[in-house]
Amino acid sequence: MDLPIEWLPAAGRPEQLIVLLHGVGSEGAAMAPLAQLLRHEFPQAAVLAPDAPHRFDGGGARGRQWFSVDAITEDNRVSRVAAALAEFTPWLRATQQRLQAVPVETALVGFSQGAILGLEFALAEDGLAGRVLAFSGRFAKPPAAAPQHTTLHLFHGGADPVIAASFSRQALQAMQALRGDATLDIAEGVGHELHPVLAQRALFRLRNHIPARTWAAALGAVPSLPSDPDDC
C-alpha cells in the first residue's frame, strides 16, 4: 500500500503507532487534518495514513477503497470486509515490526469504510491493536463476541445520512451485552464527517480512558460494563 502520510518522532522509538484508515473513494492524504491533530497531541507517536490498496470502482481518478461497495448487500459485505482484512493485517504486522511498535501501543483510527475495517479487525485480530477509534462506522454484521484485548471508541454524527448513528448505538449495546470495552460519543446535528467536536472527543478518550481490562488486572475483578454513551 502507498503511504502518503508517515510522520515519525524527531528522535527515538515511537511510543505509539497510530494508523488512520480513510473512507471509500478517498485516500490517505485526506486524513491529514486529523493526523496533524494527533501528531500535535502525541509528538512521540508514529502517525501513518496509508492509501487503500484498490482503486475506487465508483468513478474518479484518485479515489481508493478497502473493499468495493458496488452492489453491496448485508450478506456480501461480510466476505468483502474479510478479504480486505486479509490484505491489511499482514501490512499492519509488518509495520509494527518495522517501527518496533507493540500491539498495545497501536491504535487504528478509521472513518466510514475505514471504521468498518477497524471494527472488524478488532473482532478478527483481538489484541493486535490496543484501541480502535471508529468514526461514522458500523460492524459488517452484529458481533457474536467482543474483543477482550482491544478497546473500541465509537464516534458518530447524530444526523449522519450515510451510516446512521443507530449502528454505533447498537454496537455499544452489543459490547455491553458481551462484556467488551467500548465508549460512544454522538454529536447531535453532525452528518457524515470527521467533525472537530468528535475529533476532540477522540483526543479525550485517548488521553483519559483506562481500559476495563486494566482495571480488572489491578483489582483482580471482572470488568464492569462500559458507561452509557455521551452526547456532545
- What mean pLDDT do residues 66-78 have? 94
Q: Which residues pair with residue 16 across a beta bridge?
A: 45
- Taking the alpha carbons of 55, 56, 59, 61 in that order, is the dihedral positive or negative? negative
Are the C-beta atoms of 198 and 135 separated by less than 8 Å? yes
Q: Count of domains in the chain?
A: 1
Are the C-beta atoms of 152 and 119 separated by less than 8 Å? yes
Tell me the angle at which helices 113-124 and 76-99 cross, rounded to the nearest 10 degrees.
Answer: 80
Please write the tens of the pLDDT for every residue from 77-88. 999 999 999 999
C-alpha–C-alpha distance, residues 198 and 134, integer Å: 11
CATH code for the domain in which residue 57 is found: 3.40.50.1820
pTM value is: 0.92
pLDDT tier for residue 211 given thresholds of 50, 70 and 90: confident
Structural domain that includes position 45:
5-231
Q: What whole-number percentage of the chain has pLDDT above 70?
A: 90
The reported pLDDT for the residue numbered 210 is: 79
Which residues are the active-site residues?
112, 160, 192
Grid cell locating 104: 498495545
pLDDT tier for residue 224 given thresholds of 50, 70 and 90: very low
Are the C-beta atoms of 35 and 49 separated by less than 8 Å? yes
Please write the tens of the pLDDT for every residue from 113-169. 999 999 999 999 999 999 999 999 999 999 999 999 999 999 999 999 999 999 999
